[in-house]
Structure 1
Amino acid sequence: MTTSSVQFGKVAVLMGGQSAERDVSLMSGAGVLAALRSRGVDAHAFDPAQQGMHELRSQGFSRCFIALHGRYGEDGTVQGALELLGIPYTGAGVLASSMAIDKVMTKRIWIAEGLSTPRHVLLQRGQSNSEQLLSLPRELGLPLIVKPVREGSSLGVTKVTDASQVQAAVQAAAAMDADIMCEQFISGDEVTCAVLGAGDSARALPVIHIVAPEGQYDYQNKYFTDSTQYRVPCDLPAGEEEAIQALVLKAYKVLGCRGWGRLDVMIDAATRKPYLLEINTAPGMTSHSLVPMAAKAVGISYEELCVSLLASASLDYPARQAQEANA
């Protein structure tokens, strides 16, 4: 038994789940599982869609690596279950997770903190009329983006270039979520920046400049093609990387995140002003994923990243775990 095995005990890699991002989660989980095992960690796959969460305790797991994406994994629900079970887990806690998965709630917090994010309009499924839809291009301009409020991996996202496309785009998003966000489109450079740690010890990894075919960084181009370019070190003008890192660090901290996260940003081509789009609190760990890519740029291997994240696993209420251990 290695030192890592002793330190972490029996570890569950939570993967799969019930969200629309199940397939991506299975890919992330498989990579994390292999990496932890390669470092001597007693890690096991655990799919909450196939096993009850209570089985984590009955099977003797002492720590969880959350490789779930989207609903029932990245939204505070699994985190809450693990809090009740007293099993430390990777990533953001219950409140931060539930806020961060909601793109509109996230925007409200960022706006309140004076952080830049594109203008938006919230619609609810079945409650928007034709007059509201017609007003969107006037209010947000064209092109505009329509997306489900609580989905990731660009699922259900449509770039609307003509007013006649708005209704179909809203219907596509409404098929995935009761709440739909229509957002101002920022034309310019698309970048992403990962953050590791918590509080004052949190640090931003190198910014990655994403150059997708025809500017479409969609589900297919994220996971299943090799035509998207990821430029790291990024090729941004002097000073911009540092400014974006400072912006995402603040955006991460004001949401109360811990462990890790990845924030997506658009840089306006005309003004070079960065705009926060959204945050992922359980980022992908697939062969195409960006956090491992950014970590590699500063000399952190995929395996080292996984072990470090596992070491950061914690609880919102650690006192309870200590009380139960001493009982």
Structure 2
Amino acid sequence: MKKTKVGIIFGGKSAEHEVSLQSAKNIVDAIDKEKYDVTLIGIDKEGKWHLNDQSSYLLNSENPKLIALNKSDDNVAIVPGSATNQLIHVENAVSLEQLDVIFPIVHGTLGEDGSLQGMLRMANLPFVGPSVLGSSVCMDKDIAKRLLNAAGIKVAKGITVKRPNKDKVNFEDAKELLGTPMFIKPANQGSSVGVSKVKNEEEFYAALHAAFQYDHKVVIEENIVGREIECAVLGNDDPIASIPGEILPNTEFYSYESKYIDEKGAELAIPAELTEEQVRMVQTTAVEAFKALECEGLARVDFFLTENGELYINEINTLPGFTKISMYPKLWEISGIPYSELISRLIDLALERSENDAKLKNTVWE
């Protein structure tokens, strides 16, 4: 049987670079080597693309705090517009072996915000996960909340502040509208990067300053008191939802370190202790949100479930972590889809979408 050639692109320039390295390692370890030939392309923090060998692509691979990309001497570049030979060696412009599909596991900005997806589309390379629109919409917490509101799906009340207006935002006004504590977040970051929980005026302005270091737009949100429920979604036109799980943080909130570095930072309860009615509500809302935000392939939908049974969406992550303590693959494993099969399904969904896209006309005159 001819193997499918899969390019795994990982790393990147975002603050989630190290998380991406962990995710790539887990995908490489779990992918079915009988079905797939894997090519590794690591993006360093300066944005250079490196063709990596599977035996040496990571440094300190077992230490999440010290893990690093082992840069190679073989840099590659992508060639837009070509039906074949989309990737070339920079030194001599010789083409890489043709790849059938890309698994882009580049978290954060320039990876899951539509930038990389647009480049792959221009290069005619099928890829795992949502396309340009779904990726960019979900990455921007402000835009995602507006669309979810329009779809009748509950989200936390909030204020959006852009950099030119950052000195005009006032703690007392925010407190009157949202109460305290409140959360301050970069609009276009994931994995709790740059997120602060604030209770007073001093913390408020410090958190604004911290958030603006990561983005030109910041979201200030009310604190929703509730259980942190997560649900994984898989599919294209007819997506399905996993069994819901629950995050039980051992810290004040589910921080970057709790998610990816400290295995004791939170407990994952899978399945979550929910009634059958609550499970249906979470799964139905997860799929509705997935469709409302034009997602394809995969997404993890994060909720707050309040004491009175109200369900609020916190965010939708279109390239969720695939580390050994990540919720997305764990939810599907408990739902009956093992890690290796999950990767295969995601690749199949990418190829299915590419085949459907190829049927669209690109000319008016026959």
Question: Structure 2 length normalisation: TM-score?
Answer: 0.82
Letter of the 1:312 partner, please give it: L
Structure 2 CA distance for partners of 1:131 and 1:56, relative to 1, 3 Å: closer
Post-superposition offset of 1:25: 0.5
User: CA offsets per residue over residues 49-95 of structure 1, 9 Å max, x none?
Assistant: 32233363631222101111111110111111111111100010111
Provide the C-alpha distance between the structure 2 equivalents of 1:288 and 1:42, rounded to a whole number of angstroms: 26
Provide the C-alpha distance between the structure 2 equivalents of 1:283 and 1:213, rounded to a whole number of angstroms: 21
Residue 252 in structure 1 maps to residue 277 in structure 2: no
Instruction: Report what 2:242 is aligned to.
Output: 205
Contact 2:196 2:207 in 1 (8 A): yes
Equivalent residue runs for 1:180-199 within 5 Å: 180-199=218-237
Residue 19 in structure 1 maps to residue 58 in structure 2: no
Instruction: Report what 1:30 is aligned to.
Output: 25
Equivalent residue runs for 1:238-277 within 5 Å: 238-269=276-307, 271-277=308-314
Provide the C-alpha distance between the structure 2 equivalents of 1:131 and 1:101, rounded to a whole number of angstroms: 23
Question: Structure 1 length normalisation: TM-score?
Answer: 0.91
Instruction: Report what 2:42 is aligned to.
Output: 47
Residue 106 in structure 1 maps to residue 144 in structure 2: yes
Identical counterparts, % of pairs: 31
Provide the C-alpha distance between the structure 2 equivalents of 1:284 and 1:46, rounded to a whole number of angstroms: 18
Structure 2 CA distance for partners of 1:67 and 1:149, relative to 1, 3 Å: same
- Which deviates more from structure 2 when the two are superposed, residues 57-66 or residues 206-215? 57-66
Provide the C-alpha distance between the structure 2 equivalents of 1:234 and 1:131, rounded to a whole number of angstroms: 38
1:79 to 83, 94, 117: 117
1:286 to 320, 323, 332: 323
Provide the C-alpha distance between the structure 1 equivalents of 2:118 and 2:227, rounded to a whole number of angstroms: 37
Post-superposition offset of 1:216: 1.9
Instruction: Report what 2:87 is aligned to.
Output: 56
Provide the C-alpha distance between the structure 2 equivalents of 1:299 and 1:237, rounded to a whole number of angstroms: 20
Provide the C-alpha distance between the structure 2 equivalents of 1:115 and 1:149, rounded to a whole number of angstroms: 19
User: CA offsets per residue over residues 223-277 of structure 1, 9 Å max, x none?
Assistant: 11222111111112442121011111100101111101001111123x2201001
The residue matched to 2:27 in structure 1 has which SS? Answer: helix
Contact 1:32 1:285 in 2 (8 A): yes
- Structure 2, unaligned runs of 5 or more: 50-76, 80-85, 89-94
Contact 1:94 1:316 in 2 (8 A): no
Provide the C-alpha distance between the structure 2 equivalents of 1:252 and 1:164, rounded to a whole number of angstroms: 37
2:357 to 312, 318, 324: 318
Residue 91 in structure 1 maps to residue 116 in structure 2: no
Equivalent residue runs for 1:165-184 within 5 Å: 165-184=203-222
The residue matched to 1:172 in structure 2 has which SS? Answer: helix
Structure 2 CA distance for partners of 1:307 and 1:119, relative to 1, 3 Å: same
Post-superposition offset of 1:321: 9.7
The residue matched to 1:38 in structure 2 has which SS? Answer: coil
Contact 2:236 2:349 in 1 (8 A): no
Larger helix fraction of residues: 1
User: CA offsets per residue over residues 13-33 of structure 1, 9 Å max, x none?
Assistant: 010011111110111112112
User: CA offsets per residue over residues 282-301 of structure 1, 9 Å max, x none?
Assistant: 11111011111011102211
Provide the C-alpha distance between the structure 2 equivalents of 1:238 and 1:320, rounded to a whole number of angstroms: 41
Residue 127 in structure 1 maps to residue 152 in structure 2: no
Provide the C-alpha distance between the structure 1 equivalents of 2:99 and 2:359, rounded to a whole number of angstroms: 17
Provide the C-alpha distance between the structure 2 equivalents of 1:106 and 1:287, rounded to a whole number of angstroms: 28
Residue 163 in structure 1 maps to residue 188 in structure 2: no
Q: Which has the higher contact order (CA 8 A, sep 6+)?
A: 1
Post-superposition offset of 1:175: 0.6
Provide the C-alpha distance between the structure 2 equivalents of 1:61 and 1:238, rounded to a whole number of angstroms: 44
Provide the C-alpha distance between the structure 2 equivalents of 1:171 and 1:234, rounded to a whole number of angstroms: 36
